[in-house]
Amino acid sequence: MMERTAERGAALVDELRNVVVQAEALLQALGEDKDEALGILRERVYSAVDAAKSRLADIEKHAGIVAQRASIAAEAYTRENPWTVVGGATAVGLLLGALFTRSLAADGGDDDVT
């Protein structure tokens, strides 16, 4: 659950950064035009970009806090249940080793250079 939230948050941050970059490029393109309507539009876009940057900073700060809390919780769990963590890590290592070995066997294991 937490991984999906982190992935969604990261995707949202990337999307927001993309919007900010595109808006800044638009502002630069509009910066050379002197029309009054474009000036008003430019100010509105600057305001929106500033708000987006502020929101992005808040999201990044919140993501850092969530990551720190997850790290503390994982460390506490590891201290309270060291053998469970060792057993889980061993099981994952064995599983990955078996999958890797099977993958090599499926490729034919040919190391001949032709």
pLDDT in tens, 6-60: 677 777 777 777 777 777 777 776 666 667 767 777 777 778 778 878 888 888 8
Nearest to 2 by CA among 73, 55, 81: 73
Instruction: Give the pLDDT confidence score for residue 76 in this predicted structure.
Output: 94
Q: Which of 26-30, 63-67, 99-103 has the lowest mean pLDDT?
A: 26-30
Helix (H) or strand (E) holding 34: none
More confident residue, 32 or 65: 65
Nearest to 20 by CA among 60, 59, 58, 47: 47
Instruction: At 55, list the tokens.
Output: 């929101």
Instruction: Give the pLDDT confidence score for residue 13 in this predicted structure.
Output: 76
pLDDT digits over 71-81, tens only?
999 999 999 99
